């Protein structure tokens, strides 16, 4: 990297007190963090293991680590912590286990698991089906908000008056009790528990404050209350930290992020030094002008003005397509021809969108043109519900102590185990230091959970043990795996549970491809040990983790991702698709009047582009069997017209065949509308 500018150097040199770098997109904030880590190690005698840097996504953390490694010889970076807030929290909990309410092999519930648990708790609370359906989502949101605001269940219950909210607060208490009984934590706990321990336990707090001599945080504008609290507790009064952020890129308010945390810093740390960066090193001036023009429509906390020495650059193109299918086809074809013409590589291109569903049509088009692409943040194979379910059956065969797997399958398919019973089972297991599965076959269980539930649990335990015995040391385990899953009733459950025949087929196909992978692993195994079901499941679990990593790997492929996932990244050629009302801004934001957050998302999207930016919208979009007319996004009207190449301007040079077919389609649509009317 070329020399840092004087402002950036100022940020590097300020090492003894609190520092905030407040600056717009592409101005080198993340670069300041990585260079500062190197500076601290190289020039300030700070051992790497005394430095901690935090960010929000795995991808960002990995990239940051790599950037530091390029700056220093490897022996100098040993022991450096660069992680996400959640990874840090997990490490903290493992380290401080005796100070937590948890046991060693605690499990982590993902969002899906939390949802199931809450749904169960609602059944137990006698909430009727209709009420439940729309309440689960709301309950999860409220509970997560409470946790991220560090509000305990007792406090939530005490302060509320609205009867519906009181039910949620009550559920929150139940939910927390169940998590503890299962020796489990959810994602929010990974931040909330460390913050609570640091707050309540002076000895632990001092230890960590001594251990972390310098703390750096990227994307600070997206911290929520719990994360900010964690930062404050880790830095203590010495306050040796650097946080960098851009309030215009705050896009996680819906997850409790508080851009006000930027203003709070000054209050909490009066010695705070603030550095502003204004030169953008990423984009052309037309791209910056567009970003600035859009974002000025928001209320600002801090005014910023970005400039770049990269010249005007190409006009920003706004393209309109007759429908979403054509839109996808157009992006795919454009990328193919553009790449050929300029002799580029695939990875220089990114297609960004507001919601994951928009990727589907696009993926089909890219596949048909044989364009290699990678999808970040979508649902990968191993993250699919049915795969996670079947894998959980296999995981518990591999490890009878896997409580998270147990909880996933004990009621999938339904075995009538209510959450009250499961809580009792959890407590019983805890008292006897057993895993949930082992507790099922304990003779004393019946008196704890009742005869009927006790019998069901015992027979479930026997079922798993039976197959564990049969599967181990079996030279040909595959037919047995099939038989086991069939016998659990899971396949019938899928048939009943699927909402459409297509969904049923997809889910069954997915399970079949899991079976095929098992087959393939067995076929490819070189010796008998490797053919064992144990080795095969172990490999599958590993594959699962690898797939998650691979997804992020920097190979030569077109990048497909949501605007949220694109934060902090940069690409030479960026396409944003579906720039329409109800998509971007998202429909919910229009209803709840939070369009400003969507505008920031648009700002994030625009500022990802280095050389060329194309914004696309479709005139109609498929919704189920029908097409729905759309309206171009209000954000398009906010663009500075001098820098934009609008569709109308280009119409003259457009393909005459295309113009004719569009014209015909329009007339047909009008006629159809008339006939209807």
Does residue 130 sit in helix, strand or coil?
A: helix
Burial of 198 (0-12, 13-18, 19+ CB in 10 A): buried
25 labelled binding-site residue: yes
Of the candidates 1, 5, 23, the residue with the CA atom closest to the CA atom of residue 218? 23
Nearer to Mg ion by Cβ, of 122 and 352: the residue is: 352
Q: How far is the CB of 31 from ligand ATP (least distance, A)?
A: 4
| Cβ(515)–Cβ(521) below 8 Å | no
Q: How far is the CB of 588 from ligand ATP (least distance, A)?
A: 25
Burial of 492 (0-12, 13-18, 19+ CB in 10 A): exposed
Side-chain-side CA neighbours of 660 within 13 Å: the count stands at 3
Q: Which of 454, 568, 585, 605 binds ligand ATP (CB under 6 A)?
A: 568
Q: How far is the CB of 606 from ligand ATP (least distance, A)?
A: 11
Cα gap 521→389, rounded to integer Å: 20
Nearer to ligand ATP by Cβ, of 282 and 507: the residue is: 282
Is residue 30 within the footprint of ligand ATP (CB under 6 A)?
yes
Query: Which one is catalytic: 84, 209, 225, 249?
Result: 249
Burial of 665 (0-12, 13-18, 19+ CB in 10 A): middle
594 labelled binding-site residue: no
Q: How far is the CB of 575 from ligand ATP (least distance, A)?
A: 18
- List the single partner that 289 binds among ligand ATP, Mg ion, none, CB under 5 to 8 Å by kind: none
Residue 218 bears catalytic tag: yes
Q: Which of 26, 477, 568, 605 binds Mg ion (CB under 5 A)?
A: 568
Residue 620 bears catalytic tag: no
* Stretch binding Mg ion (CB under 5 A), from 111-119, 377-385, 549-557, 562-570: 562-570
Is residue 280 within the footprint of Mg ion (CB under 5 A)?
no
Residue 527 bears catalytic tag: no
| Cα–Cα separations (whole angstroms), residue 569 to 154, 348, 565, 589 | 41, 12, 9, 25
Cα gap 420→425, rounded to integer Å: 9
Nearer to ligand ATP by Cβ, of 37 and 136: the residue is: 37
x-marked contacts with ligand ATP along 262-301 as a string, rule CB under 6 A:
-------------------xx-------------------
- List the single partner that 1 binds among ligand ATP, Mg ion, none, CB under 5 to 8 Å by kind: ligand ATP
Residue 29 bears catalytic tag: yes
Q: What letter would DSSP give residue 244? A: E
Query: Which one is catalytic: 219, 327, 386, 597?
Result: 219
257 labelled binding-site residue: no
Cα gap 673→677, rounded to integer Å: 6
Q: Which of 186, 222, 229, 246 binds ligand ATP (CB under 6 A)?
A: 246
Is residue 18 within the footprint of Mg ion (CB under 5 A)?
no
Query: Which one is catalytic: 113, 218, 534, 582?
Result: 218
Is residue 59 within the footprint of ligand ATP (CB under 6 A)?
no
Cα gap 362→243, rounded to integer Å: 37
Q: How far is the CB of 6 from ligand ATP (least distance, A)?
A: 10
Is residue 7 within the footprint of ligand ATP (CB under 6 A)?
no
Cα gap 493→491, rounded to integer Å: 5
| Cβ(560)–Cβ(332) below 8 Å | no
Residue 65 bears catalytic tag: no
| Cα–Cα separations (whole angstroms), residue 230 to 87, 148, 223, 257, 270 | 13, 11, 10, 14, 19
- List the single partner that 246 binds among ligand ATP, Mg ion, none, CB under 5 to 8 Å by kind: ligand ATP
Is residue 29 within the footprint of ligand ATP (CB under 6 A)?
yes
Does residue 477 sit in helix, strand or coil?
A: coil
Q: How far is the CB of 605 from Mg ion (least distance, A)?
A: 15
Q: Which of residues 93-122 bind ligand ATP (CB under 6 A)?
A: none
Q: Which of 12, 18, 19, 26 binds ligand ATP (CB under 6 A)?
A: 26
Q: Any residues with CB less than 8 A from the CB of 598 and at least 6 apart, and which? A: 584, 585, 586, 589, 635
| Cβ(264)–Cβ(33) below 8 Å | no
Residue 30 bears catalytic tag: yes
* Stretch binding ligand ATP (CB under 6 A), from 22-30, 49-57, 384-392, 524-532: 22-30
- Residue 474, token pair as written in the block: 């079996």
- Residue 152, token pair as written in the block: 């305990």
26 labelled binding-site residue: yes
Question: How far does CA 343 lie from the centroid of its chain?
Answer: 33
- By annotation, the residues acting in catalysis are 29-30, 218-219, 249, 608
* List of residues contacting Mg ion (CB under 5 A): 29-30, 568
Binding site, residues? 23-30, 282
Interacting residues toward ligand ATP by CB under 6 A? 1-2, 4-5, 8, 23, 25-31, 246, 249, 281-282, 568, 570, 607
């Amino acid at each position: 990297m070329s020399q840092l500018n004087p402002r950036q150097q100022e940020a590097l040199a300020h090492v003894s007190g609190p520092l905030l770098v407040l600056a717009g997109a592409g101005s080198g904030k993340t670069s300041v963090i990585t260079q500062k880590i190197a500076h601290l190690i190289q020039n300030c005698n700070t051992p790497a293991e005394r430095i901690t840097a935090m960010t929000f996504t795995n991808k960002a953390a990995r990239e940051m680590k790599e950037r530091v490694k390029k700056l220093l010889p490897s022996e100098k970076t040993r022991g450096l912590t660069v992680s996400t807030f959640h990874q840090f929290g997990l490490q903290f909990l493992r380290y401080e286990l005796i100070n937590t309410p948890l046991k060693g092999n605690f499990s982590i519930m993902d969002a899906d698991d939390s949802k199931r648990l809450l749904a169960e708790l609602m059944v137990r609370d006698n909430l009727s089906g209709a009420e439940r359906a729309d309440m689960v989502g709301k309950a999860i949101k409220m509970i997560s908000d409470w946790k991220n605001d560090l509000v305990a269940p007792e406090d939530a219950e005490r302060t509320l008056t609205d009867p519906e909210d009181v039910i949620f607060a009550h559920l929150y208490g139940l939910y927390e009790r169940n998590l503890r009984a299962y020796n489990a934590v959810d994602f929010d706990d990974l931040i909330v528990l460390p913050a609570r321990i640091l707050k309540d336990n002076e000895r632990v707090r001092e230890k960590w404050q001594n251990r972390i001599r310098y703390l750096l945080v990227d994307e600070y504008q997206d911290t929520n209350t719990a994360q900010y609290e964690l930062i404050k507790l880790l830095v203590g009064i010495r306050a040796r930290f650097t946080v960098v952020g851009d309030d215009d890129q705050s896009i996680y308010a819906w997850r409790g992020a508080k851009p006000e945390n930027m203003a709070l810093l000054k209050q909490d740390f009066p010695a705070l030094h603030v550095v502003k960066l204004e030169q953008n090193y990423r984009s052309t001036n037309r791209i910056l002008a567009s970003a600035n023009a859009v974002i000025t429509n928001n209320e600002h906390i801090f005014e910023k003005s970005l400039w770049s020495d990269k010249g005007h650059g190409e006009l920003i193109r706004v393209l309109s397509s007759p429908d979403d299918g054509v839109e996808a086809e157009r992006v795919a074809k454009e990328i193919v021809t553009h790449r050929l013409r300029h002799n580029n590589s695939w990875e220089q291109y990114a297609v960004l969108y507001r919601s994951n569903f928009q990727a589907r049509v696009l993926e089909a088009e890219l596949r048909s043109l044989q364009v290699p692409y990678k999808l970040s943040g979508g649902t990968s194979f191993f993250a699919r519900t049915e795969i996670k379910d079947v894998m959980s059956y296999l995981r518990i065969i591999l490890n009878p102590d896997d409580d998270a797997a147990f909880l996933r399958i004990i009621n999938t398919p339904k075995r009538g185990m209510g959450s009250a019973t499961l809580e009792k089972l959890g407590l019983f297991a805890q008292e006897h230091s057993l895993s949930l599965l082992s507790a099922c076959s304990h003779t004393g269980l019946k008196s704890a959970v009742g005869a009927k539930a006790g019998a069901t649990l015992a027979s479930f335990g026997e079922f798993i043990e039976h197959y564990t015995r049969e599967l181990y040391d079996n030279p040909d385990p595959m037919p047995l795996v099939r038989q086991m899953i069939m016998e659990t009733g899971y396949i019938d459950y899928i048939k009943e549970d699927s909402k459409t025949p297509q969904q049923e087929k997809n889910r069954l196909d997915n399970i079949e491809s899991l079976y095929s992978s098992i087959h393939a692993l067995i076929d490819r195994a070189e010796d008998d040990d490797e053919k064992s079901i144990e080795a095969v499941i172990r490999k599958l679990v590993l594959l699962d983790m690898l797939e998650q990593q691979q997804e992020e790997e920097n190979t030569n492929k077109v990048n497909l991702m949501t605007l949220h996932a694109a934060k902090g990244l940069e690409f030479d050629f960026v396409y944003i698709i579906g720039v329409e009302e109800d998509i971007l801004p998202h429909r919910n934001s229009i209803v709840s009047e939070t369009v400003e957050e969507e505008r920031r998302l648009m700002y994030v999207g625009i500022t990802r582009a280095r050389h060329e930016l194309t914004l696309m919208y479709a005139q109609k979009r498929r919704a189920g069997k029908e097409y729905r007319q759309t309206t171009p996004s209000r954000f398009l009207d906010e663009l500075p017209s001098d820098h934009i190449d609008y569709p109308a301007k280009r119409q003259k040079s457009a393909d005459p065949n295309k113009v004719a077919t569009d014209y015909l389609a329009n007339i047909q649509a009008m006629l159809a509308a008339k006939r209807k009317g």
